[in-house]
Structure 1
Amino acid sequence: MHNWLLPEYIEDMLPAQALRFERVRRQLLDWFYGCGYQLVVPPLLEYLPSLLSGTGRDMDLKTFKVVDQLSGHLMGLRADITPQAARIDSHLLNRQGVVRLCYAGSVLHAMPDGQMQTREPLQIGAELFGHGGIESDVEIQLLMIKSLQLAGVGSVQLDLGHVAIFHSLVEHASVSPELELELFQAMQGKDIPGLAELTASLDEVSREALRVLPQLYGGVETLAAAQRHLPDYPEIGKALDDLRTIGSQVQDGVHQLCFDLAELRGYHYHSGVVFAAYASGWANAVALGGRYDKVGKTFGRSRPATGFSMDLRAVLGAQSTPPLPKAILAPYVQDPELQDKITLLRVQGEVVVVDLPGHEISREELNYDRVLVQGEVGWAVVKV
Structure 2
Amino acid sequence: MNDYSEKGLLPAGLADMLPPAAAREALINRTLMQVFAANGYLQVKPPLIEFEEHLLEGSGAAMASKMFRVMDPVSHRMMGIRTDITLQIARVATTRMKQDPRPLRLSYTGQVLRVHGTQLRPERQFAQAGVELIGGANTAADAELVLLAAEALGALEIGTYSIDLTLPILVPTICNELNIDEETARSAREALDHKDAAALTGYAAPLSTILIALLKASGPAKQAIAALDAISLPRKAAAQIEALKQVVRELAEASPNLRLTIDPGEYRGFEYQTGLSFTVFAQGVRGELGRGGRYLLMDGEPASGFTLFLDSLMRAVPRKTMDDRLYLPFGTARETGFDLRNKGWKTVAGLAPEKNIKAEAKRLQCGHLLAEDGVEKLP
Q: TM-score when scaled to structure 1? A: 0.87
Q: State the Cα distance separating 1:270 from its structure 2 match.
A: 0.6
Indicate how the Cα distance of structure 1 residues 250 and 365 shifts in structure 2: closer, same or farther if over 3 A, else same: farther
Contact 2:66–2:114 (8 Å) recurs in 1: yes
Work out which of the residue numbers 326, 342, 345 in structure 2 matches 1:350: 345
Q: Which amino acid aligns with 1:236?
A: A
Contact 2:189–2:265 (8 Å) recurs in 1: no
SS in 2 for 1:100: strand
What's 1:187 paired with?
Answer: 192
What's 1:364 paired with?
Answer: 362
Distance 1:245 1:277 in 2: 20
Q: Which amino acid aligns with 2:228?
A: A
Distance 2:87 2:262 in 1: 26
Distance 1:354 1:188 in 2: 57
Contact 2:169–2:274 (8 Å) recurs in 1: yes
Indicate how the Cα distance of structure 1 residues 116 and 142 shifts in structure 2: closer, same or farther if over 3 A, else same: closer
Q: Which amino acid aligns with 1:149?
A: G
Contact 1:163–1:273 (8 Å) recurs in 2: yes
SS in 2 for 1:291: strand
Matches within 5 A, 1:367-378: 367-373=365-371
Question: How many pairs were matched up?
Answer: 367
Q: Which amino acid aligns with 1:221?
A: Q
Indicate how the Cα distance of structure 1 residues 220 and 381 shifts in structure 2: closer, same or farther if over 3 A, else same: closer
| Mapped pair 1:282 → 2:260 | no
Indicate how the Cα distance of structure 1 residues 264 and 381 shifts in structure 2: closer, same or farther if over 3 A, else same: closer
Contact 2:158–2:316 (8 Å) recurs in 1: no
Distance 1:268 1:80 in 2: 12
Distance 1:278 1:173 in 2: 34
| Mapped pair 1:120 → 2:120 | no
What's 1:243 paired with?
Answer: 244
Q: Which amino acid aligns with 1:308?
A: F
Moved more, 134-143 or 160-169: 160-169
Distance 2:207 2:36 in 1: 43
Q: State the Cα distance separating 1:45 from its structure 2 match.
A: 0.7
Can you list the C-alpha shifts for 1:1-25, whole angstroms capped at 9, x where unaligned?
8221112122222211122221121
Q: State the Cα distance separating 1:69 from its structure 2 match.
A: 2.2
Distance 2:121 2:245 in 1: 35
Q: State the Cα distance separating 1:327 from its structure 2 match.
A: 2.4
What's 1:265 paired with?
Answer: 268
SS in 2 for 1:121: strand
Contact 1:213–1:261 (8 Å) recurs in 2: yes
Work out which of the residue numbers 227, 235, 246 in structure 1 matches 2:229: 227
Contact 1:17–1:321 (8 Å) recurs in 2: no
Distance 1:230 1:63 in 2: 41
Moved more, 205-214 or 24-33: 205-214
The gaps in structure 1 that reach 5 residues or longer are none
Q: Which amino acid aligns with 2:291?
A: L
Q: Which amino acid aligns with 2:144?
A: E
Moved more, 38-47 or 57-66: 57-66
Can you list the C-alpha shifts for 1:332-379, whole angstroms capped at 9, x where unaligned?
33x7xx11111111111111211112888633341224433568xxxx
What's 2:12 paired with?
Answer: 8
Q: State the Cα distance separating 1:57 from its structure 2 match.
A: 5.2
Indicate how the Cα distance of structure 1 residues 69 and 173 shifts in structure 2: closer, same or farther if over 3 A, else same: farther
Contact 1:66–1:74 (8 Å) recurs in 2: yes
Indicate how the Cα distance of structure 1 residues 44 and 177 shifts in structure 2: closer, same or farther if over 3 A, else same: farther
Matches within 5 A, 1:126-145: 126-145=131-150
Distance 2:180 2:74 in 1: 45
Indicate how the Cα distance of structure 1 residues 40 and 142 shifts in structure 2: closer, same or farther if over 3 A, else same: same
Indicate the percent of aligned positions where both proteins have the same amino acid.
28
Can you list the C-alpha shifts for 1:147-185, whole angstroms capped at 9, x where unaligned?
111223213222212234212112123344444333332
Contact 1:105–1:122 (8 Å) recurs in 2: yes
Indicate how the Cα distance of structure 1 residues 186 and 79 shifts in structure 2: closer, same or farther if over 3 A, else same: same
Q: State the Cα distance separating 1:115 from its structure 2 match.
A: 4.2
Work out which of the residue numbers 89, 92, 106 in structure 2 matches 1:88: 92
